[in-house]
Structure 1
Amino acid sequence: MKHLPVADLAIIALYMLAMILTGVWFSKKNKNPDQFTKASGQIPQWAVGISIYATFLSSNTFLGVPGKAFGTNWNAFVFSLSMPFAAWIAAKYFIPFYRNSGEVSAYTHLEKRFGAWARTYAVVCFLLTQLARMGSVFFGIALSLQAMTGYSMQSIMIVMGVIIIVYTVLGGMEAVIWTEVAQGIIKTFGAIIILYFIISKMPGGVDHIIAIGKADGKFSLGSFKPDLTTSTFWVIFFYGIFINLNNFGMDQNYIQRYQATSSGKEAAKSLWLCVKIYLPASLLFFIIGSSLYAWYQVHPEMLNAIKLRAAAERLPSVASVTEMGAMANTLQPADYGDKVLPDFMVNVLPVGIVGIIVSAILSAAMSTISSGMNACATVFTFDIYKRYIKHDISQRQTMTLLFTSTFVIGVLSIITGIAMVGVKSILDVWWQLSGIFAAGMLGLFLLGIASRAKNAEAVMAVIIGVLVIAWMTFPSLIPESLSGIRSSFHTNMVIVIGTLTIFLTGTVFSLLTGNRKNV
């Protein structure tokens, strides 16, 4: 694969410099914790809506979704179809709840409801979820740029991380939101450009793409059978509802954005704007993946080169060409799907356009990571440090703590991304990790706002829920002699069953103990 020319690298460098300058500009206003965490509630709802959309549309989407569509079909698009259901619940119940509470942290309510342990449990789950998310985003962007530039993935993650840390620390939430507005526009424009070049250069155009896709089942949404052991339509649909409920109802990234608008009504509008933009945008990336599949079917020499590179990554460095060829012949499209978009960009797109597209991918990564850093720093400051270490600190000390924790979270997310080098699918690893960590958090939150359970019932429910999550997540730890009790559920069902276990168990316990008074 050829590497990026100087013109494209210059465009990328200018974009990254612009992000740093944005942080410097907003640093002039970033003088107190309220400004750093909530932008003082002065952001227009349309900007918040685009910001939420930009956070959703990470580089996992930009690279992972086309790779997933290339390797399998449109089954993962069902996740997007579930978003309106979760958004309706969030707009009707969650947003008014948070706006009325006035708390900057999403987890303060849990302590009031069940005690300090509940708040701490949710905070730990959130921090682990965000590290997994930011790590997978770092990995995804490094995977793409490594193929284009020849630099090591570790070096790319470190350079990217430093830039993101700088503008996030300097600018706070206001810088995050306004850079995400620009990033949301750039990444959507970049996707449209990619699809244009695929179709314009594809022999036979759209008709040929559709014919190849239909012949190989690339447009399927998955089986509609009532089967929860494989990636059916229903597994992804249920997963989507529950993970999006967690996103819209429990994720500090979104809660801070609700507080950044002037009212609850404006916050609800921003959430629905995100959904309205994300649905067609995510469909665009699935179309890109299917179109790339058709492209490489009519360009087998390019496909063989990708397969050889994928095989080389799986073999020792001393492997012969013959060994790599044999390995390449055994690989399936799902094994190298994440590599096709970077390959198409660097080998087919004209000079200058590649720089714009890479900047779009960078913007997808930066928006997700910067908002995650800001949210994690907020949670650490208000839910851990000020709760357990030292409550009475000045505004200046709080700002210093927010800056420091943002830096530390950024470093930890880079380390997480480096640890992920070698995984098979960006999208799969993120979905699995998010389901594991988010299940307990969402279950406990729903138990707190929709049941009469008290502290004792909540503790028992969480213990049982964690055991169920572990049972579903680590079936290989069960001895072969007890293989009959291993979980056969698909991994995406972890958040569904884990959440329901905690909520229903706590509710039943509260009824059995005669707890009939509202809390």
Structure 2
Amino acid sequence: MKNLPLFDLAIIAAYLVAMVLVGLYFARKNHSAAQFTKASGLIPGWATGLSIYATFLSSNTFLGVPGKAFGGNWNSFVFSLSMPLAAYMAARFFVPFYRRTGEISAYTHLEHRFGPWARTYAVVCFLLTQLARMGSIFLGIALSLQALTGYSMQMIMIVMGVCIIFYTVLGGMEAVIWTEVVQAVIKTFGALLILYLIVEEMPGGVSEIVTIGKANDKFSLGSYSLDFTQSTFWVVLLYGFFINLNNFGMDQNYIQRYHTTASEKEASKSLWLCVWLYVPASLLFFVIGSCLFAYYQLHPEFIEAIKQKVALDRLPATASAAEVSRLIATLQPADYGDKVMPHFMVTKVPPGLMGLIVSAILSAAMSTISSGMNASATVFTEDIYKRYVNAHVSDRKLLTLLHLTTVVVGLLGLGTGLAMIGVKSILDAWWTLSGIFAAGMLGLFLLGLISRQTKSHEALTATAIGVLVILWMTFSSNLPDEYSYLRNPLHSNMIIVVGTLTIFLTGLVLTKRKGHRPESTRKISSVTQ
């Protein structure tokens, strides 16, 4: 890290060594698959809650949210406002359900309801979601550390990927949770420190930030019109509710946490602790983005330097000066929002504090990636290996398989991050990908949970129709102009909403139609079966 003072390097090194030592400490107790996947159910509820909060507060929040607020307004904060309603649904229905079944995998229930195809489909969707999440987070690390160190984004991702894989494999779920408790504190303190430094550097202080923000409509939550083709208040609210319902009700990252506590009550408490911490914490990052916007409004010369860097990153090395200038002229705040906070850190954060802030960014990334790796390894062993290869594998071999799968998932997530280099907005990329993959899972799960009369073939038909709708909404924008009337008119955040409702409602309609068939038709059908 050639651009950082020795003291900052020492702080970062101490943080990384501490994370590895935590993994080594818990490796002493990590001798069974149950210990690796759910820490034997002995984690206090408050620690699990901080762990879930740390998983939510990823580098997508740390870097992506200020970038979104800089380039736009607080519209994306509506996502956080949807969390309490989703948490209520989860605490009321999902937590008791998972605690009662005792299944470590979130997807075993789908096989009980609809057969092996449903379980396998959900597992594939989950694993794709995790790769998208880990890839976007690796990208967030690289964006910030490249500005601070001068090293390539590829090298940064590889070095950090190896470190995260190492301590996750060593310590299992217990190491993941306790490191996330520490990381939750570090990343929150880091955000407060950044906010303080921005306000200190701002001529006129808070009042000037508010004045500039109001003049540029930076505090708006978006339009309240019922327009679902734009990112309005209602579009983000619906998206947030469905995504958070998927997180709390279907995502293995969170379902696995419900089994780490001693009781159902403790599990519910951990869920609510996450919500009450994350909502104000996410607001803090929107405030940071608005403060950065105000600061750079008064220092436009820095914006030109950022635009220059973005243009050089996007264009090939052989591009002429005229080509660079033309691209710079077209760049809007939304195009370089993710670059603004790293630039401020490089130019304005004093030596000694940089190490703390970099450690906070690292912790924001490491907590979510390590959690995703552990959850993905658990799902693979429970829902694929034990289901299709060897249901009676010994505990020792299962633990070895968990270790191996954790490494493979970590490497795949790293590869996804490398492939995502160059995306315009980390947060937009993650929201789009998560909406695509999560829609099918949530719709199928709700159908199985709510409609007890729906059988396998009705669920399969509904899911097939839902997947076709999701594919159309995702890719129809690429249709030629002569087929523009076939393009999806809705905003991309509506994919999870429409996809989920399509599967759920189609399943209900098919079930109802079957229930209203004439008695003679049902008898004939039963005989032919």
The TM-score with structure 1 as length reference comes to: 0.98
Deviations, residues 58-105 of structure 1 (Å, cap 9, x unaligned):
000000000000011000000000000100000000000000000000
Cα distance in 1, alignment partners of residues 306 and 479 from structure 2: 38
The correspondence of residues 184-263 of structure 1 with structure 2, limited to 5 A, is 184-263=184-263
Q: Which residue of 2 aligns with 1:91?
A: 91
Q: Which residue of 2 aligns with 1:306?
A: 306
Equivalent residue letter for 1:133:
R
Gaps of 5+ in 2: 518-529
Is 1:454 aligned to 2:455, yes or no?
Answer: yes
The TM-score with structure 2 as length reference comes to: 0.96
Q: Which residue of 1 aligns with 2:373?
A: 373
Deviations, residues 453-495 of structure 1 (Å, cap 9, x unaligned):
1101001000000000011000135454332122111000000
Equivalent residue letter for 2:437:
F
Is 1:65 aligned to 2:28, yes or no?
Answer: no
Q: Is the 8 A contact 1:3 1:346 kept in 2?
A: no
- Shift of the alpha carbon at 1:320? 3.9
Cα distance in 2, alignment partners of residues 255 and 94 from structure 1: 9
Cα distance in 1, alignment partners of residues 261 and 35 from structure 2: 12
Q: Which residue of 1 aligns with 2:25?
A: 25
Equivalent residue letter for 2:390:
K
| Number of residue equivalences | 515
Q: Which residue of 2 aligns with 1:402?
A: 402
Q: Is the 8 A contact 1:306 1:336 kept in 2?
A: yes
Equivalent residue letter for 2:416:
T
- Shift of the alpha carbon at 1:307? 1.1
Distance 1:139 1:515, change over 3 A: farther
Q: Which residue of 2 aligns with 1:357?
A: 357
Cα distance in 2, alignment partners of residues 350 and 86 from structure 1: 41
Q: Which residue of 1 aligns with 2:520?
A: none
Equivalent residue letter for 1:464:
I
Q: Is the 8 A contact 2:66 2:290 kept in 1?
A: yes
The correspondence of residues 98-117 of structure 1 with structure 2, limited to 5 A, is 98-117=98-117
RMSD value, Cα = 1.2
Q: Is the 8 A contact 1:377 1:402 kept in 2?
A: yes
SS of the residue 2:259 aligns to = helix
Q: Which residue of 1 aligns with 2:510?
A: 509
Cα distance in 2, alignment partners of residues 325 and 352 from structure 1: 36
Q: Which residue of 2 aligns with 1:139?
A: 139
Q: Which residue of 1 aligns with 2:525?
A: none
- Shift of the alpha carbon at 1:11? 1.4
Equivalent residue letter for 2:446:
L
Q: Is the 8 A contact 2:49 2:274 kept in 1?
A: yes
Cα distance in 1, alignment partners of residues 370 and 104 from structure 2: 18
Deviations, residues 116-138 of structure 1 (Å, cap 9, x unaligned):
00000000000000000001000
Residue range with higher mean Cα deviation, 130-139 or 310-319: 310-319
Q: Is the 8 A contact 1:8 1:356 kept in 2?
A: yes
Deviations, residues 176-210 of structure 1 (Å, cap 9, x unaligned):
00000000000000000000011111100000000
Deviations, residues 348-396 of structure 1 (Å, cap 9, x unaligned):
0110111100100000000000000000000000100010011111110
- Shift of the alpha carbon at 1:316? 2.2
Equivalent residue letter for 1:390:
N
Q: Is the 8 A contact 2:477 2:488 kept in 1?
A: no
Gaps of 5+ in 1: none
Cα distance in 2, alignment partners of residues 226 and 434 from structure 1: 23
Residue range with higher mean Cα deviation, 247-256 or 313-322: 313-322
- Shift of the alpha carbon at 1:331? 0.8
Q: Which residue of 2 aligns with 1:491?
A: 492
Cα distance in 2, alignment partners of residues 492 and 469 from structure 1: 11
Q: Is the 8 A contact 1:4 1:346 kept in 2?
A: no
SS of the residue 2:43 aligns to = coil
Q: Which residue of 1 aligns with 2:523?
A: none
SS of the residue 1:408 aligns to = helix
Deviations, residues 417-451 of structure 1 (Å, cap 9, x unaligned):
00000000000000000000000000000000001
